[in-house]
């Protein structure tokens, strides 16, 4: 039996980006457990006048030319998070895709672009250095790594909830008893103090839910991202 752990947000987004895949992202796998959620952070170059999400939205609506938001590439979680925010806020920023987070952050720091959604582990050194300024995190709850930074949801967009999450799947034919035992073991492991400490250092928050909870979550995520991809017109290339 092969058990896979992967950046599961991409696993459920891919069917919307690659409609002709040879597998079903939900039916062809046995969901075991969500390991952890990692928030993204909405950050701006320090010279950007906006110091809150509300001010950023107002600035985006008034700016000519449009504000530019960077991502690690087309159809990445950073890109699609930016598209989701634009849909929620009713704004139109110019997307600038890069080949990875590092060059995108470099241009954000340099002021070539003004806005970026990035994963917390990637952005954290620059947040600590003050070379980029956080406006909000994308999860419903504030991040333990950035407790002073509000969420997008509490900044005027209730229900906005996006994270990079990591889950475990087994082959679809795996006996349910095996799946449930794996889930219980994973839940116990991610709650160990030493594991929680290592997760916290990465800005990750442990989950360790049941197969049924994980399956429902994955289906909801797939539907959510399908809507975002469709409305934004996002494409891989």
pLDDT at position 10? 79
For residue 34, give the 3-state DSSP assignment. Answer: strand
Residue range 203-222: mean pLDDT, rounded: 94
Residue range 16-44: mean pLDDT, rounded: 90
The pLDDT confidence band at residue 8, using thresholds 50, 70 and 90, is: low
The yes-or-no verdict on residue 80 having pLDDT over 70 is yes
The yes-or-no verdict on residue 3 having pLDDT over 90 is no
The distance of Cα 57 from the centroid of its chain, to the nearest Å, equals 20
Angle at which helices 211-232 and 176-190 cross, to 10°: 80
- Residue carrying the six token digits 């035992």: 181
134-170 pLDDT tens trace = 999 999 999 989 999 999 999 999 999 999 999 999 9
Answer whether 156's CB lies under 8 Å from 23's CB. Answer: no
Say what the pTM is.
0.89
The yes-or-no verdict on residue 57 having pLDDT over 70 is yes
pLDDT at position 4? 45
Q: Do domains 4-38+164-232 and 39-155 have the same CATH topology?
A: yes
Fold of the CATH domain 4-38+164-232: D-Maltodextrin-Binding Protein; domain 2 (3.40.190)
Residue range 111-125: mean pLDDT, rounded: 95
Backbone torsions φ then ψ of 22, nearest 5 degrees: -85, 5
Q: Residues of 74-98 as b/e, b for ≥16 C-beta within 10 angstroms?
A: ebbbbbbbbbbbbebbebebebbeb
Q: Where are the domains of the chain?
A: 4-38+164-232, 39-155
The pLDDT confidence band at residue 19, using thresholds 50, 70 and 90, is: confident
Fold of the CATH domain 39-155: D-Maltodextrin-Binding Protein; domain 2 (3.40.190)
Answer whether 8's CB lies under 8 Å from 165's CB. Answer: yes
Cβ count within 10 A of residue 18: 12
Q: Which token pair is 202?
A: 């990465």
Give how far Cα 25 sits from Cα of 16, 83, 155, 172, Å: 11, 23, 33, 11
Ramachandran assignment for 111, one of left (phi > 0), alpha (psi -120 to 50 degrees), beta (any other)? left
The yes-or-no verdict on residue 35 having pLDDT over 70 is yes
Answer whether 151's CB lies under 8 Å from 142's CB. Answer: yes
Of the ranges 14-23, 65-74, 113-122, 186-195, which one carries the lowest mean pLDDT score? 14-23
The pLDDT confidence band at residue 26, using thresholds 50, 70 and 90, is: confident
Q: Which token pair is 87?
A: 């849909």
Answer whether 151's CB lies under 8 Å from 138's CB. Answer: yes
């Amino acid at each position: 039996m092969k058990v896979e752990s992967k950046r599961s947000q991409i696993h459920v987004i891919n069917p919307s980006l690659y409609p002709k895949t040879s597998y079903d992202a939900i039916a062809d796998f046995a969901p075991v457990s969500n390991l952890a959620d990692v928030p993204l952070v909405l950050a701006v170059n320090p010279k950007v006048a906006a110091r809150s999400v509300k001010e950023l939205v107002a600035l985006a609506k008034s700016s000519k030319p449009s504000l530019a938001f960077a991502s690690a590439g087309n159809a990445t979680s950073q890109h699609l998070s930016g598209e989701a925010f634009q849909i929620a806020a009713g704004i139109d920023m110019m997307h600038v895709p890069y080949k990875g987070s590092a060059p995108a952050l470099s241009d954000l720091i340099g002021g070539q672009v003004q806005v970026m959604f990035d994963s917390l582990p990637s952005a954290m050194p620059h947040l600590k250095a003050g070379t980029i300024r956080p406006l909000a995190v994308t999860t419903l709850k504030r991040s333990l790594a950035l407790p002073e930074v509000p969420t997008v949801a509490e900044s005027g967009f209730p229900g906005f909830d996006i994270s990079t999450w990591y889950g475990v799947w087994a082959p679809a034919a795996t006996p349910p008893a095996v799946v449930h035992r794996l889930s219980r073991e994973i839940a116990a492991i991610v709650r160990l103090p030493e594991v929680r400490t290592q997760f916290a250092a990465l800005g990750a928050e442990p989950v360790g839910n049941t197969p049924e909870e994980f399956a429902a979550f994955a289906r909801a995520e797939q539907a959510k991202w399908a809507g975002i991809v469709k409305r934004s017109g996002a494409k891989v290339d």
